Amino acid sequence: MNHHMLLLAGLAAGLTGCASDALQLQTDRTYQVEWIGERPLIDRSHLTVTLGEDGRAYGTAGCNHWFASYKLEGDQLSFGAAGSTRKMCAPSLMEQEQRFLKALTKVQRWDFSPIDQLRLWPTEGKPIRLWPAEG
């Protein structure tokens, strides 16, 4: 019986190690935005964040491609002023894009929610919420 308990304890420790490894903010991994602060994304819009290993972040903002510098130290995360391409889209997508780019400049830290969703927290208010992108 003790042999089985040790085996189960070993398995549990191994699984715990895997789970904690998965909850690290990863560079060169694309995250899909689900919410910007208080509001979900417009149906079928596609916003992404990728943190490059070179200190540059980039992605799609719903209409345009965006890019900015970023600084990551532990759970602290900040973005420089974002630039973007200049394609025009529907007014609602353009408004959402501007809210997203403005929200990025206010990010101060990151964490994972109890359901393993990445959250980028501003100085005050609700976070940008993201999931790892498929593929």
The pLDDT tens digits of the residues spanning 40-94 come to 999 889 999 999 999 999 999 999 999 999 999 999 999 999 999 999 999 999 9
Assign 2 a pLDDT band (cuts: 50, 70, 90).
very low
Query: What residues does each domain of the chain span?
Result: 26-132
- pLDDT at residue 103 above 50? yes
Report d(CA 97, CA 59) in Å as an integer: 12
**Long-range contacts (CB closer than 8 Å, 24 or more residues apart) made by 85-88:** 87/63, 88/63
- Output the pTM of the full model: 0.80
pLDDT at 102: 96
H or E segment and range at residue 129: strand 128-132
Structurally, what CATH architecture does the domain formed by 26-132 represent?
A: Beta Barrel (2.40)
